[in-house]
Amino acid sequence: MKTYIITALLIIMGIYVMQASEMPARPCYRTISSSLMEFDDFCDVCGCSGNGGSMGFGTGLNNNFIGLRYIGQRYRSRDGIFSNSPWIDENFNTIQLWTQIPVGRRLIINAVMPYQFHSREFADDTKQHINGLGDATVLGFYQILKQTPDSIISIKPQHTLQLGGGVKMPTGRFEEENLEGSVNPSFQLGTGSWDYVLGANYGVTHRNWGLSAMVNYTIKTKNDKEYRFGNQFNYALNVYKTYYLGTNFALTPQAGIGGEHFEKNKEFGFEVHDTGGNALFSRLGVEVNYRQYALGLSSMLPVAQDLNNGKVEVKSRFSVYLNINI
Amino acid sequence: MKSLYKLSTLLFLFVSVTSCSDDDSPGDNLTGEGRVIIEFDNSVAGDDLILGSSYTNSQAETLTINRLNYIVSNFRLTDTQGNVFTYPKEYGYFITSEETGNTEVVLMNIPAGRYTAMTFGIGVDQEKYLLGAEGQGDLLTEAESTDMMWSWQAGYKFLNFEGTFTSSTVPENTYFQIHMGSHGSSLDNYKETTLSLGTEALVSDEMTPIIHLVVNAGNILDGDNKISLAEQAVIMVSEEKSPKIAENTANMFSVDHVHNGDGSSH
């Protein structure tokens, strides 16, 4: 499946790269997707926390938008502590309602409300499903450097820098019962805790090219079941190029890398065995803009990983979103 | 510039508020009594033990294991202050069996506390044996039904380890039987092992820790003492080999992890 997705993406990107080499001499009157920054989304994904997936990109920096995004994550984890213990496939699915609203001249508010439906199948063919709201996140970013709004493509590189933070609220259920054996402890709808996020986004665009970098750190706290997911550090770097195809159309292929680092989880103050770790992903994506709509596709594949002492493996992540500028 | 300064102050405040939010010591008031669950997860050198599967050891002997039963007894728990709680002897003997899936020991009425080490015996000590048949309680009938007893005179089998094997000199599948125990009261093979838990197991009327042990059955023949099945495939009453097997068996246990909680999940 993932091979198909990637192939399709590459073909689409290839076609448009060819077409776009005959770019109109006059750029469109408006840069719809002026720069693709990454925002948010740390960890809500995997239920959150343990292996919270960050999925990358947001849309237009200076846009207010509201959108829906689907994120699918495939994991496998060992059911047991031995080297021949069976692998269990885990599917984490998230649908997010997300929005970005500028407040005043320099503040951006980013909010995400996820709905999760996860499933896994044990070696004895029994299936487990959990679904419900995930953890809602509200972030505020202060724009230290911002692009000139609505400018036509500038000759000079345009820099943006945003610093901010926010809170992830325990709107997703955390069930102690889901801590089944030594299987992935992140099979949860939420961390069950108030978690705090610090983040920074940097972007530079020059002509049609753009580069974005982000780092964020999530401080997780103890939930009422005395479980505390490990703090999480995410980083990502993306390059993209926007092709203007007529007055209303723009297409932006993107490629990048992203990484995640997890500290160990704690339960009753004691470190939980086989937790923590890190993963590095490659990422390919594309965003299509038509008038006020943005449709994005993104796929992430692990390049290197060591999660939960090798007991958990992330196989792939895929996301698709549709945003409307408001 | 002023706004930058303001922002960094805000960030700093934010970090300082959030970073000290949750470090109070857990289980500060452990009260009452609770249970301790000990899971004996049988394995062979890092692989899960699956009856009927084959495992090759360092002596190039390939064992297909069909049975692994052993008696564990006389549990003692040591808390952070060094106090030792000894489990009552009359309830203190447990037969675990891979065949029946009965690999969990539940200790009841443990005083609330934070335990950091556990000691237990493998087999039945002479003190218990010398109480005579009437002093054995349920253990005697249970041992008979699980094939953990030769006869009352010969005594308990502490370990019943059976299957088939092949080696370079024994190419045909050949039965092996390792039955280890004390020989009446003439040879005492009862041994004890002490394991550090590596963390604290929290016990209270609300908390039931699960101590997850890894039991490496490969150690029985292939531990500090090397026992060759090609040399002798049925080892029962052996004054030379059974003490070595007893020693190997006592060293086959280690703590994988401790799960603190209400005992409902691992």
Q: pLDDT tens across B103-141, in order?
A: 999 999 999 999 999 999 999 999 999 999 888 989 999
Q: How many CB pairs under 8 A join A and B?
A: 81
- Residue type present at position A171: T
Of these ranges, A245-249, B135-139, B149-153, B155-159, the one predicted with the greatest mean pLDDT is: B155-159
pLDDT tens figures, A83-140: 899 999 999 999 999 888 888 888 989 899 999 999 998 888 889 999 999 999 999 9
Distance of alpha carbon A245 from alpha carbon A20, whole angstroms: 7
Distance of alpha carbon A47 from alpha carbon A168, whole angstroms: 12
Residue A3 has pLDDT above 50, yes or no: no
Q: Judge: B14–A142 Cβ closer than 8 Å, yes or no.
A: no
Ordered by start, the domain boundaries in chain A are: 2-325
Strand-strand pairing, B210-216 and B155-156: unpaired
DSSP for B51-75, please give it.
TT-EEE-TTS-EEEEEEEEEEEEEE
**What is the reported pLDDT for B209?**
95
- Residues in A whose CB is inside 8 Å of some CB of B read 80-85, 106, 142, 144, 163, 165, 176-182, 194, 196, 198, 219, 221-222, 225-226, 228, 267-274
Q: Judge: A270–B262 Cβ closer than 8 Å, yes or no.
A: no
- Residue type present at position A294: A
**Architecture label for domain A2-325:** Beta Barrel (2.40)
pLDDT tens figures, B165-217: 999 999 999 999 999 999 887 899 999 999 999 999 999 999 999 999 999 99
Three-state secondary-structure class, residue B47: strand
Q: Which residues of A touch B264 (CB under 8 A)?
A: 176-177
**What is the reported pLDDT for A148?**
64
Alpha carbon separation from A146 to A109, A156, A278, B107 (Å, rounded): 15, 14, 32, 64
Mean pLDDT, rounded, for A4-29: 35
**What is the reported pLDDT for A146?**
80
Q: Which residue has the higher pLDDT, A31 or B33?
A: B33
Confidence of residue A149 (pLDDT cuts 50, 70, 90): low
Q: Judge: A221–B259 Cβ closer than 8 Å, yes or no.
A: no
Three-state secondary-structure class, residue A183: coil
Mean pLDDT, rounded, for A15-39: 34
Nearest residue of chain A to residue B199 (CA atoms): A270
Nearest to A216 by CA among A68, A44, A36: A44
Q: What is the CA radius of gyration of chain B?
A: 24
**What is the reported pLDDT for B195?**
98
Distance of alpha carbon A314 from alpha carbon B45, whole angstroms: 27
Nearest residue of chain B to residue A268 (CA atoms): B26
Any idea which of A160-174, B75-89, B98-112, B191-205 has the lowest mean pLDDT?
A160-174
Q: Judge: A165–B14 Cβ closer than 8 Å, yes or no.
A: yes
Nearest to A290 by CA among A246, A239, A240, A241: A246
Nearest to A223 by CA among A178, A274, A174, A167: A174
Q: Which residue has the higher pLDDT, A154 or A240?
A: A240
- What spatial distance separates the first Cα and last Cα of chain A, rounded to whole Å? 34
Mean pLDDT, rounded, for A268-295: 91
Of these ranges, A79-83, A135-139, A301-305, B29-33, the one predicted with the greatest mean pLDDT is: A301-305
8 Å CB contact between A294 and A320: no
Distance of alpha carbon B219 from alpha carbon B254, whole angstroms: 12
**What is the reported pLDDT for A31?**
35
8 Å CB contact between A186 and A76: no
Confidence of residue A158 (pLDDT cuts 50, 70, 90): confident
Alpha carbon separation from A111 to A61, A91, A100, A101 (Å, rounded): 14, 24, 7, 9
- Residue type present at position B219: N
Provide the mean pLDDT of chain A.
79
Q: Which residues of B touch A267 (CB under 8 A)?
A: 259-261
Ordered by start, the domain boundaries in chain B are: 31-259
Confidence of residue A21 (pLDDT cuts 50, 70, 90): very low
**What is the reported pLDDT for A2?**
39
**What is the reported pLDDT for A156?**
82
Provide the mean pLDDT of chain B.
90
Residue A56 φ/ψ region, left for φ over 0, alpha for ψ in the -120 to 50 degree band, beta for the rest: left
Q: Judge: A196–B18 Cβ closer than 8 Å, yes or no.
A: yes
8 Å CB contact between A20 and A13: no
Q: Which parts of B2-60 are beta strand (E)? A: 33-44, 47-48, 54-56
Distance of alpha carbon A196 from alpha carbon A137, whole angstroms: 9
Nearest residue of chain B to residue A182 (CA atoms): B266
Residue B4 has pLDDT above 80, yes or no: no
Q: Is B15 on the interface with A (CB under 8 A)?
A: yes
DSSP for B140-157, please give it.
HHHHHHTT-EEETTTEE-
Task: For residue B62, count CB atoms less than 10 angstroms from its CB and return exposed for 0-12, middle for 13-18, buried for 19 or more.
Answer: middle
A287 min Cα distance to partner chain B (Å) = 32
SS (H, E, C) A107-136: EEEEEEEEEEEEEEECCCCCEEEEEEECCC
Mean pLDDT, rounded, for A184-212: 89
Q: Which residues of B touch A271 (CB under 8 A)?
A: 199
Mean pLDDT, rounded, for B96-101: 96
Q: Report the DSSP beta bridge partners of residue A296.
A: A287, A321
Mean pLDDT, rounded, for A217-245: 92
Q: Say which of B27, B47, B199 has its CB closest to residue A82.
A: B47
**What is the reported pLDDT for B169?**
95
Mean pLDDT, rounded, for A37-62: 37
Q: What is the pTM of this model?
A: 0.81
Strand-strand pairing, B234-235 and B174-180: parallel
Q: Report the DSSP beta bridge partners of residue A9.
A: none
Confidence of residue B68 (pLDDT cuts 50, 70, 90): very high
**What is the reported pLDDT for A11?**
39
Nearest residue of chain B to residue A79 (CA atoms): B48
Q: Judge: A83–B11 Cβ closer than 8 Å, yes or no.
A: no
Alpha carbon separation from B252 to A56, A240, B198, B240 (Å, rounded): 48, 57, 17, 20
Q: Judge: A268–B21 Cβ closer than 8 Å, yes or no.
A: no
Q: Is the dihedral of CA A186, A188, A189, A194 positive or negative?
A: negative
Residue B245 has pLDDT above 80, yes or no: yes
Q: Which parts of B98-190 are beta strand (E)? A: 104-111, 113-122, 149-151, 155-156, 159-166, 174-180
Q: Which residues of A touch B7 (CB under 8 A)?
A: 142, 144, 163
Q: Say which of A85, A181, A269 has its CB closest to residue B266.
A: A181
Q: Please state the ipTM of this predicted complex.
A: 0.79
Q: Which residues of B touch A163 (CB under 8 A)?
A: 7, 11
**What is the reported pLDDT for B115?**
98
**What is the reported pLDDT for B152?**
87
Q: What is the CA radius of gyration of chain A?
A: 20
Which residues lie below 8 Å from residue A48, measured CB to CB, with a gap of 6+?
Answer: A134, A135, A168, A172, A186, A188, A189, A190, A191, A229
